[in-house]
Amino acid sequence: MKKHQGEHPRMGATDVCPFVPVASVSMEDCVKIAEALGKRVAEEFRIPVYLYEEAAREEKRKNLANIRKGEYEGLQKKIRDPEWKPDFGEPVFNEKSGATVIGAREFLIAYNVNLNTKDSKLANMIAKNVRESGKPKRDDDGNIVKDENGEIVRIPGKLKAVRGIGWYVDEYGCAQVSINLTNYHITPLHIVFEEVRKEARKLGLGVTGSELVGLIPEEALIEAGKFYLKKQGISMGVPKREIIHTAVKSLGLSDVTKFNPEEKVIEYRINKESDRLVDYTLLEFAEELSSNSPAPGGGSVAAIAGALSAALTAMVGNLTYGKKKYQNNWDKAEEISEKAQDLKQELLSLACEDTKAFNQLMKSFRMKKETEEQKQKRREAIREATKLATEIPLTVMEKSLTIMELALKIAKIGNLNAISDAGVAGEMALASCRSASLNVKINIPSLKDEKFARDAGIKQDDILKRIESLYIKLTSIVEEKL
């Protein structure tokens, strides 16, 4: 670190290590991990550690910039100040490694907006107007104004949870407003893009597109896509790939480098599996289903039937939205389509989960049973696997019931030319529910938890009664309109 130089602020060889909840983990989990790592780094490597963001133990340490202030060069003096005693480790300067900041935070999106100019000063002006920290206040003579404590008085920028600077990128031949979105739930990606565009227009500039550095959560792109679909007067109840395509095009994410969602969306990167059921073609799925392998089987077919029902329901909603004859029901149709699209995705995931659950059950049956301890572990594994193999089709039943409710609603208000599709959606929802019910029934006798088995049976019977009642209403409407 004594020899290190560079433009980016830093205070240590490993300057900052954030833990970010992406999937199947909470912020609280990330805080615990950050604390455990901080303790270990301090003890094993004698590197002072500060906790930041959600892991911070005092307010002023939440902001990484506050902890970094003075950087490596000022650390030797800063670490001796009782106010800046490390959270882990002794307040002793580590000349070789400096200090490390560890914490838990929301996903940070590194995002650059491209301008039709090479002037980095103009880009910086825009950055100062949109970023949360804003810019220093100046008096009539252009001097920076300071308060009674000698601190610079700042004019806040427009957007919360946004940091930004302007620079010129020789490789692209344009200036960029370089932005960090520290919490895209507070300020979404598309709002940043639109605000930069507004500020650029004030300076006579244009925005040519934008660039994503690193990865992005799917949710951020979905929000952006829906924002632009709404502006275009198009239903937001379309498939995810269309929503994301709209976001990519509207934000100009392929302006300077090609944007591939499969590579840039974090969920798609971490969920890549070599043999996911939903990635099969129809032919591949049918071939696999017809083999002598017991999975995928009826449970996956039940979930896929539900997914197809949801897809048809969304289609009828989208064929209704935008048609002048049905204008009074556009909002309802769009809402139905959006809900159906979500259910479609959930059921496709359940088709995979059902196969995994069956394989897990088979694996538990194959566990060793030579010693009493092994027998006990095997019994527990079988019990839990059987529960899971029952819960998944029960969930499929619940979701197919919800789809039937949506199919009934769209049959009442939807495009008359697609009424047969609403009817088919109902048929598939009922088939999904009844099929999933068979998978619940076959597992109930094997359940050792009597209360769980009893509750599952009651729930199953209730759902079947409700969906069959809705099916009668739906078919009556469809037949009448046909």
Q: Which residues are catalytic?
A: 8, 354
- CA 349/CA 137 separation, integer angstroms: 53
The residue behind tokens 């550095």 is 213
Per DSSP, the residues of 162-190 read EEEEEEEETTTTEEEEEEEES-TTTS-HH
Per DSSP, the residues of 215-234 read -B-HHHHHHHHHHHHHHHT-
- Residue 229 near residue 236 (C-beta atoms within 8 A): yes
- Residue 397 near residue 438 (C-beta atoms within 8 A): no
- CA 473/CA 480 separation, integer angstroms: 11
Cβ contacts of residue 47 below 8 Å, gap of 6+? Answer: 12, 14, 41, 89, 94, 97, 98, 99, 100
Q: For the purposes of burial, counting CB atoms within 10 Å of the CB of 11, is it exposed (0-12), middle (13-18) or buried (19 or more)?
A: buried
Query: What is the H or E stretch that residue 208 is in?
Result: strand 207-213
- Residue 53 near residue 18 (C-beta atoms within 8 A): yes
- Residue 161 near residue 108 (C-beta atoms within 8 A): no
**What distances in angstroms separate CA 174 from CA 114, 226, 316, one per listed residue?**
7, 29, 45
- CA 468/CA 464 separation, integer angstroms: 6
- CA 101/CA 9 separation, integer angstroms: 13
In the DSSP assignment, the letter for residue 80 is T
**Bridge partners of 103?**
18, 52
Residue 214's Cα: distance from chain center in Å? 15
β-pairing, 100-104 vs 49-53, is parallel
